[in-house]
Amino acid sequence: VAIDLNADLGEGFGIWRLGDDDALMSVVTSANVACGFHAGDPITMQRVCEQAAARGVAIGAQVGYRDLAGFGRRRIDIPADELTADLLYQVGALQACARAAGAAVAYLKPHGALYNTAADDQDQARAIVRAASLAGDLPVLGLPGSALAVAVEAAGLRFVAEGFIDRAYTPNGRLVPRTEPGAVHHDAALALEQARELANGRVTATDGALLAMPVHSLCLHGDTAGAVELASAVRAALEGDGIELGPFATP
């Protein structure tokens, strides 16, 4: 089965840009496109969809809290029904952009604080699932073992697990919290090695043990120094290993 490479794209707003969309688009197989609430503006969404369609990259709805000022990185205690409506709205907007480009939205991925909240908060996790369901039973991309994963599967939708090439894993297979030392692999070689492990369904934990970590997609970053180079190196290494790359979902 093919491994998917996903990254966040279209995360500018108006005159402001973030990351190198063009470079990333040539690396990923799935593009998480920001939908306007925490980042992303309509004309950028349209253009990213056109590029993705031209390259055969799958389009995902990168949905988040209504929080341009905080880039969706601030947890917001929003009632579940309002959250569902906010997310459905975002997905619908992106669906129109995708259709205009001759494509379609293939999945949903929560962004930032919503991603983190949905790892533990069942109400918000279920609100996300309900939006994915109302938007056409979209697959959901996220953290394995999370409340979101449970809620997605309970609803009969498809959950797609992603792995992080630059985050350390605990012996029981969870991400080391960012507040702890060693949580992030700043060394590109280490990240590259972890990418190759994850592409084979494994990861080396902080205690040196090799864990099973069955993920279908690897999350790449594009907005930090050296990120695009690392993403390209990951793609090249996996291709060199003979691993098939491709989107996990086509609409």
Q: Using CB under 8 A, list all residues that contact a copy of itself.
A: 12-18, 36, 39, 41-43, 45-46, 66-71, 74-78, 81-82, 85-86, 88-97, 99-100, 113, 134-136
At 10, which amino acid appears? G
CB-side neighbour CA atoms (13 Å) of 163: 29
The strand pairing partners of 175, in sequence order, are 169
Determine the Cα–Cα distance for residues 122 and 150; give it in Å rounded to an integer: 9
Which residue's CB is nearer to a copy of itself, number 124 or number 146?
Answer: 124
Q: How far is the CB of 45 from a copy of itself (least distance, A)?
A: 7
Q: How far is the CB of 151 from a copy of itself (least distance, A)?
A: 18
Which residue's CB is nearer to a copy of itself, number 43 or number 209?
Answer: 43
Which residue's CB is nearer to a copy of itself, number 4 or number 86?
Answer: 86
Contacts of 40 by beta carbon, 8 Å cutoff, 6+ apart:
10, 11, 12, 13, 33, 34, 62
Which residue's CB is nearer to a copy of itself, number 100 or number 209?
Answer: 100
Q: How far is the CB of 167 from a copy of itself (least distance, A)?
A: 20
Q: Which helix (H) or strand (E) holds 7?
A: strand 4-9
Q: Phi/psi of residue 227, each to 5°?
A: -70, -40
Q: How far is the CB of 182 from a copy of itself (least distance, A)?
A: 23
Neighbours of 164 (CB within 10 A): 21
Q: How far is the CB of 239 from a copy of itself (least distance, A)?
A: 32
Which residue's CB is nearer to a copy of itself, number 1 or number 15?
Answer: 15
The strand pairing partners of 219, in sequence order, are 6, 164
DSSP secondary structure code for residue 109 in this structure: E
